[in-house]
Amino acid sequence: MDAFVVKTRDPKANDKSKCSTKTTVMERHAQFPKETHVAGQKLFCTSCNLVLDHTRKSSVSSHLGSGKHKQKRDLTEKSNQPAKKQRVLTESSSSVPSTIASQERNELCMEWVAMLAAANIPLSKTDHPAVRDFLHKKVVNGGAIPHRKQLQECYLEREYSKRKEEVKLLLKGKAVSIMTDEMSDDNGRWVKSYYHLQCNLI
Ligand SMILES: [Zn+2]
């Protein structure tokens, strides 16, 4: 996940007292007009489709000086097409938290993992070139979604724990019977299925 955290070179920059809360999104954009744009009161890196923390100038500078950003910028320039600027259709809040970049990233990644899990789509599909291309071009802040390994290590466990608690709450105090079955899947691997049935006892 570290690769997607907009880091700062100044270790003291994590201190909220270092945030320039008075600097507006537009003012920060004016300092980096060629490489950023504003949508929905958020500052985006245009090349990477990534929300930046506008309250910290060092954080924005650090990202724009990173190898990852330069790679994306060079790709955009080589394609001779201006990067599509993401638009945000709804504005969530007038107050902009100092950790806006990380909050945006966390929310997006949690929702992405939840969607994949609900649709039974392997996390590895996130790494498919077509998916990455779609995320980058069409999804607001889609460049913040990391690859499978980071999703698995940083977000899947949280989603699993969340779902587990929901199931526990659903079954709490209720009679449950468990059935198991065993058979091979399409690849000849043996799998065991568990069926949890809620019994409505009178
Ligand atoms: Zn960038």
Range of the domain at 132: 2-162
Q: Measure 112 CA to ligand 1 centroid, in angstroms.
A: 21
- Distance from Cα 46 to the centre of ligand 1, integer Å: 7
* Domain-embedded: residue 94: yes
The 10 Å Cβ neighbour count of residue 183 is: 8
Q: Residue 186 falls within a domain, yes or no?
A: no
CA 90 to chain CA mean position, Å: 18
Q: What are phi and psi of 197, to 5 degrees?
A: -115, 130
**pLDDT, tens digit, 9 for 90 and up, residues 153-187:** 999 999 999 988 998 898 888 887 777 777 777 77
Whole-number mean pLDDT of the chain? 78
Residue 34 lies in a domain: yes
Look at residue 16 and tell me whether its pLDDT is greater than 60.
Answer: no
What is the H or E stretch that residue 191 is in? strand 190-199
ipTM above 0.90, yes or no: yes
Kindly state whether residue 25 falls inside one of the protein's structural domains.
Answer: yes
Distance 48 CA to ligand 1 centre (A): 4
pLDDT reported for residue 89: 44
- As a whole number of angstroms, the longest Cα–Cα distance in the chain is 71
Ligand 1 centre distance from Cα of residue 66 (Å)? 8
C-alpha 134 to ligand 1 mean position (Å): 17
Is residue 142 domain-resident? yes
pLDDT, tens only, 69-102: 998 888 877 766 555 565 554 434 333 444 677 8
Domain count, the chain: 1
Instruction: For residues 142 and 118, give the distance between their C-alpha atoms in angstroms, rounded to a whole number.
Output: 19
Give me ligand 1 centre to Cα 87, in Å.
16
Quote the ligand 1 centre to 76 CA distance (angstroms): 11
The yes-or-no verdict on residue 62 having pLDDT over 70 is yes
Listed residues: CB within 5 A of ion ligand 1: 45, 47-48, 69
> Considering the domain boundaries, does residue 33 fall inside one?
yes
The amino acid that residue 136 corresponds to is: H
Q: What are the backbone dihedrals phi and psi of residue 8, each rounded to the nearest 5 degrees, phi first?
A: -120, 150
Question: 115 CA to middle of ligand 1, Å?
Answer: 26
Residue 195, in any domain of the structure:
no
Residues 6 or more apart whose CB falls under 8 angstroms from that of 94 comprise 41
For the chain, what percent of residues have pLDDT higher than 90?
34
Asked if the structure places residue 185 within a domain, the reply is no
